[in-house]
């Protein structure tokens, strides 16, 4: 045991070197797929801000912005009742988006499973 202690004292292992962690913004900017994802998230939030004034306050609390893709935009809702009411408001939502300059292809309403 004494030999092992002396050997470690003579040749100590250097501590592992860890690189400085990157900030999440830097990682997102360096990766094209992640940068695209970040852009789509911003677009979804901007669309939601455009339609939020059209939503009744009690309903808006149960709606969140969903993904944007080539086929349209999704709104995520808490339950089927909210989805039904939101479908009634869909023409007003589309008008609100058009007034803000968004090209509206489709607004999908999806019930989130809990």
Average pLDDT of the residues of the chain: 86
Q: What is the pLDDT of residues 14-29, one digit of tens each?
A: 777 777 888 887 877 7
Query: Of 108, 95, 98, whose CA–CA distance to 68 is shortest?
Result: 108
How much is the pTM? Answer: 0.73
Beta-sheet strands, E only, within the chain: 63-69, 72-77, 107-111
40 Cβ contact partners less than 8 Å away, ≥ 6 residues apart: 67, 68, 69
User: Given this model, what pLDDT does residue 73 score?
Assistant: 95
How, if at all, do strands 107-111 and 72-77 pair? Answer: parallel
Q: What is the band of 6 on the pLDDT scale with cuts at 50, 70, 90?
A: low
CA distance 103 to 39: 16
Fold of 25-111: GMP Synthetase; Chain A, domain 3 (3.30.300)
Rounded (5°) CA angle 72-76-78: 160
């Amino acid at each position: 045991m004494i030999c092992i202690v002396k050997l470690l004292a003579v040749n100590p292992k250097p501590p592992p070197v860890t690189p400085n962690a990157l900030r999440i913004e830097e990682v997102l900017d360096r990766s094209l797929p992640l940068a695209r994802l970040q852009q789509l998230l911003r677009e979804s939030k901007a669309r939601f801000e455009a339609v939020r004034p059209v939503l009744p306050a009690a309903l808006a609390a149960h709606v969140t912005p969903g993904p944007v893709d080539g086929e349209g935009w999704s709104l995520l809702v808490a339950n089927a009742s909210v989805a039904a009411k939101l479908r009634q408001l869909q023409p007003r939502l589309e008008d609100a988006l058009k007034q803000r300059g968004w090209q509206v292809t489709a607004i999908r309403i999806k019930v989130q499973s809990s």
